[in-house]
Amino acid sequence: MDRADGPKWQEIYDIAESQSGYVARDQVMAAGYSSPLLEYHVRVGHLIRVQRGVYRLAQFPPGEHEDLVVTWLWSRRLGVFSHETALMLHLLSDALPAQAHLILPMGWAKRRVRFPTGVSVSFGDISKQEWAWVGAIPVTTPLRTIVDCVAAHVEPLLIQQAKREGLTRGLFSREQLTLALKHHAK
């Protein structure tokens, strides 16, 4: 992208608006900012450094589940929330997870990475068809969420609630649920 016309604050704002007020360093750089200019905006208070490589627009109003957005940005926008976290976000059950569950691509399994506090990580390649969005947060689809919860031996009551709620809301059919659970059992 040609940046001869200089960095664009509106571009940063638009990105942050879609991510609950947060931006990743690489997104800021792609909008034409240099490291010194980024540091200037941190120094004067336009941006707040939340963690390494993740910033918050200082004047952006707080949103729900911001911690999950920060974790997703930490994952370089490659992770997807799943298990009880996805049950909660999809409002499929009474799940209130103590930790957020994030699935990272298999390529991350061999990396030496310090995971964020309060995040349980597993590895797997999730197809884009199995991604859904709850606001600015990527989650596994309701059907994939239930399959993951069954595989992880999540509390059966939560799984039953999720199945019932998903069927009632038309998020999947009984046939799709049966097929997905059979496929998983193999």
The residues, ordered by sequence, that sit 6+ positions from 17 with a Cβ below 8 Å of its Cβ are: 60
Q: Are residues 126 and 160 in the same domain?
A: yes
Q: Are residues 73 and 31 in the same domain?
A: no
Whether 85 and 66 have beta carbons less than 8 Å apart is answered as no
Report the DSSP pairing between strands 119-123 and 137-140: unpaired
pLDDT, tens digit (0-9, with 9 covering 90-100), for 2-13: 445 567 889 999
Q: Are residues 130 and 168 in the same domain?
A: yes
Q: Are residues 77 and 167 in the same domain?
A: yes
Q: Write down the pTM of the prediction.
A: 0.89
Whether 20 and 66 have beta carbons less than 8 Å apart is answered as yes
pLDDT, tens digit (0-9, with 9 covering 90-100), for 124-175: 999 999 999 999 999 999 999 999 999 999 999 999 999 999 999 999 999 9
pLDDT band of 64, cuts 50, 70, 90:
confident
Q: Are residues 46 and 77 in the same domain?
A: no
Cβ-in-10-Å burial (0-12, 13-18, 19+) of 148 comes to: buried
- Quote the domain boundaries for residue 28: 9-57
Within a domain: 172: yes
Within a domain: 3: no
Q: Which of the two residues, 110 and 1, has the higher pLDDT score?
A: 110
pLDDT, tens digit (0-9, with 9 covering 90-100), for 12-23: 999 999 999 999
Whether 121 and 104 have beta carbons less than 8 Å apart is answered as yes
Q: Are residues 84 and 34 in the same domain?
A: no
Identify the pLDDT of residue 3.
Answer: 44
pLDDT, tens digit (0-9, with 9 covering 90-100), for 82-132: 999 999 999 999 999 999 999 999 999 888 888 889 999 999 999 999 999
Within a domain: 70: yes
Q: Are residues 173 and 100 in the same domain?
A: yes
